[in-house]
Amino acid sequence: MLFMKRALRLAMHGEGKVSPNPLVGAVVVKGKKIIGEGWHERFGGPHAEAIALRGIDARGATLYVTLEPCCPCVSLKKTPACVPLVFKSGVKRVVIAARDIHPQVCGIEELRSSGVQVEEGLLEDEARKLNEVHEVFFKAGRAFCALKIAQSANGKIGVRKAGKVQISGKAFDCYVHQLRNRYDAILVGANTIIEDDPLLTCRAPGGRNPARIILDSRLRIPLHAKALQNAKKDRVIIATTDLANPKKARELKRKGVALLRCGKSKVDVKKLLYLLPKLGLFSVLVEGGAKAAQSFLSAGIVDRLVVAVSPKKINGPNAVSSPVSREMLRKMPYYRCGRDRVYDAYLTSYSK
C-alpha cells in the first residue's frame, strides 16, 4: 500500500498539464526498494510507466501503477502503448489501483496473456477520485462539473450591490486556486462579472490559468471587464442565447472572445457541459453566484460539490442566500481548512 500511495502522490504532479488524459503515477520496486518512478507530465508526453522504467533493470520487479496501462488497440495514441513496454522490461508483477474506463483499453488482459502477474483494486477509490474527469466523460459523455461555494455560518454567500464580500479564510482561498489549476475551465455568471469584476486567474505556484466561461444570455457584461482582457491569448468563452445583442457579439469577437449559443432565451447549462469536450474542455469549476450555482444544481449535473462554511455571519436585507441548504450539508462529509469547515462530496452516479 505504501508504494501505491507514492504512485498516487506522483500522479498529482500532472494536474493542469495532462488533460484530456488521466493523471497517472508509477513506481517500480525491486527487493522492497524503489528503483524507478514517474508520472504522466504533460499531454502528448511519455506515460508514467515509460518514465518509471527508463534506464533501469526491471527484471523480476513489481510495477505499481495508479491506472491500467494502455495497449496498442487504443486508437489515436500520441505515444507508444505501455503494455508491450512493461512486458519487454521484464517486470514480473503489476499492481494496478483502478481499471481504465476507456472502452478500448484492455491492458490487464494483455499483461496476463503475456505471463505477467496482475493484481488490481489497491486504493481503487483514491485512484478513481484522482481521475474524476476521465470517469465522467466516458460514462456520461460530457464535461465534469465541480461547484465551489463559500458561505457564512448563517447560509449567506454575499450582499447585493456590495461588490465582493470576503467570506472564506486564506487557507481555503489558496485551495481554490489549486482547484482552478486542476480543472480545464472556470465558470461564472454575468452578474458576478458586473458586480465583482474578477480576473478569474490561477495564482497557485506553478499553476496555469483555466479557460474562462461566462454565462450571459443577453451579453450584458462590459467590454472593459477584467475577465475579457487578453482574450486573444487566454481563452475566454461566453455561453449565450438567441437574445444576444448582435453588435455586442461582434465587438466581443474582435477582442478574441468566443461565443457559444446554448439556448433561445436562457443558457442551457446541461447542453453547455455536453458541448465543452468538443472544444477540448473536459472539466469546469463553477464559481458563480447564487443564480449560476442554482442553475447547475437544478439541472442535476453537479458532479462534485465543495462548500466552505465560515464562522462569519452576514445579515441585512440585501444578504444573498446560498443555494445549498443545511439539509444538504448534513449529508456531506467535511474537514477543517484553516478557520473554515469544508464540505466536499460527489453527487452524481457518474462521479461515484
Task: Respond yes or no: is residue 49 known to be catalytic.
Answer: yes
Q: What does the buried/exposed string (b/e) look like for 53-67 if buried means 16 or more CB atoms within 10 Å of the residue's CB? A: beeeebeebbbbbbb
Q: Is the peptide bond before 222 cis (omega within 30 degrees of 0)?
A: no
Integer Cα distance of 321 and 323 in angstroms:
7
Phi and psi at 193, nearest 5°, equal -65, -45
Which residues, 6 or more positions from 125, have their beta carbon under 8 angstroms from its beta carbon? none
Phi and psi at 158, nearest 5°, equal 165, -170
Q: How many CB atoms lie within 10 A of CB 209?
A: 18
- Of 225, 259, 222, the C-alpha closest to 241 is 259
Which runs of E-coded beta strand occur in the chain? Answer: 25-30, 33-39, 62-67, 93-98, 117-120, 144-151, 156-159, 185-189, 211-215, 236-240, 258-261, 283-286, 304-309, 319-321, 334-337, 340-346
Integer Cα distance of 219 and 72 in angstroms:
47
Instruction: Give the torsion through C-alpha atoms of 201, 207, 208, 214, to 10 deg.
Output: -30
Please tell me which residue in 15, 37, 49, 135 is annotated as part of the active site: 49
Catalytic residues: 49
